[in-house]
Amino acid sequence: KGKDFHIRILLPMDFELKNTRIECSWHLKKILHGYRHILKQRLHSCPDLVSFMVELKTILEIALKNTQDLHIPRPPEYYSCLIREIEILGWNKVAYVDTGLTTIKLKAEDSCGRQHLITLKLNAKYPTEPPDCLVDFPVQFSISWMPQNSLMDIYNQFLAALESLKEFWNTMDEIDGKTWVLEPENPTRSATTRRIAIGNNVSVNIEVDPRHPNMLPECYFLGADHVVNPLRTKLNTNMHSWDPEISLLQNLKDLLEIDFPSCAVLEKSDFAKDCGICYAYRLNGTTPDQVCDDSRCGQPFHQACLYEWLQGLPSSRQSFNVIFGECPYCNK
């Protein structure tokens, strides 16, 4: 794992490994604390010192993997180089830095005024080796890196990536601002799906391509058949008139010939009904997505609740992974 440790092995007069003493720094002793019995076992079973050293290396690597936040002192030039780079970049762009100067969060604003963060995890060999970069993006973000590069290069690549995703976030922000999004409840910048309310117990799940956000997304309708089937037909019939020059939301409205319920006018309770079995709206992060097909009923249920209910009815029948039975509300 790229870390150096010094140990001393004291062999007895008879060179018997089982009577060997190992001396090491308190730091290494702390890491190997839970592995003492394994070390003793290996000392007893290894035929010679070389094979024990191989075993010790393996044990140490496992121990390091399981040790949280291991702080290895870094050379002074690591810190001086890093401070110099932060000063060139500007401290106003730093959102967070840990006391060991191993994790840095940089903040940036895209051209539409949205705030974004990039987390850099630097190892002791920085800048010879690039840091790990963590971002809230819907696509993979990887940096191109040379040993002479700096934080400024990462920041510029981050800004360029933000601009390339601008249209995607504009599309998602319009959906979030103008419709009732049922799921996810608090979407992250990396989330590409939205379940949008259409009406009473009817919704559409869309999957947007972050690289082509104005193209027709994957659509999956949820609700009773008598409501969903006409919507599906309209989408298939009008698909040819999709216009990439106008927004995705406007295209969906035109193709489906509907207006989505607005969060500015309606409350969620106006169209989002609780499950008819557990009387809750949210259950383990899911919302009611199974609806009775009878137009006079239309009661929604969580899939898990309905499945459990139908399994308990003697009149229900199952074919492969599909279960058929009566509605708990109207008995249809």
Amino acid (1-letter code) at residue 74: R
Task: Say which CATH superfamily domain 76-170 falls into.
Answer: Ubiquitin Conjugating Enzyme (3.10.110.10)
pLDDT at 317: 87
DSSP 104-162: EEEEEE-TTS-EEEEEEE--TTTTTSPPEEEE--SS-------TT--HHHHHHHHHHHH
Give residue-wise pLDDT tens across range 150-165. Answer: 999 999 999 999 999 9
Give the pLDDT confidence of 12-38 residue by residue, as tens digits. 888 788 888 888 888 888 888 888 889
Closest CA to 171 of 252, 234, 237, 235: 252
Q: How many helices, marked H, and strands, marked E, lie in the chain?
A: 9, 14
Query: Domain boundaries in the chain?
Result: 7-69, 76-170, 179-272, 273-331
**CA–CA separation, 61 and 67 (whole Å):** 10
Indicate the class that CATH gives domain 179-272. alpha beta
3-class secondary-structure state, position 10: strand
CA 139 to chain centre: 11
- Specify the pLDDT at position 208: 97
pTM (2 decimals)?
0.66
Are 290 and 275 in contact by the 8 Å Cβ rule? The answer is no
Q: Hey, what CATH topology would domain 273-331 get?
A: Herpes Virus-1 (3.30.40)
Q: How far apart are alpha carbons 163 and 152 in whole angstroms?
A: 17
CA distance 110 to 83: 25
**Equal CATH topology for 76-170 and 179-272:** yes
Sequence-separated (6 or more) residues with CB below 8 Å from residue 298 = 200, 201, 224, 227, 291, 292
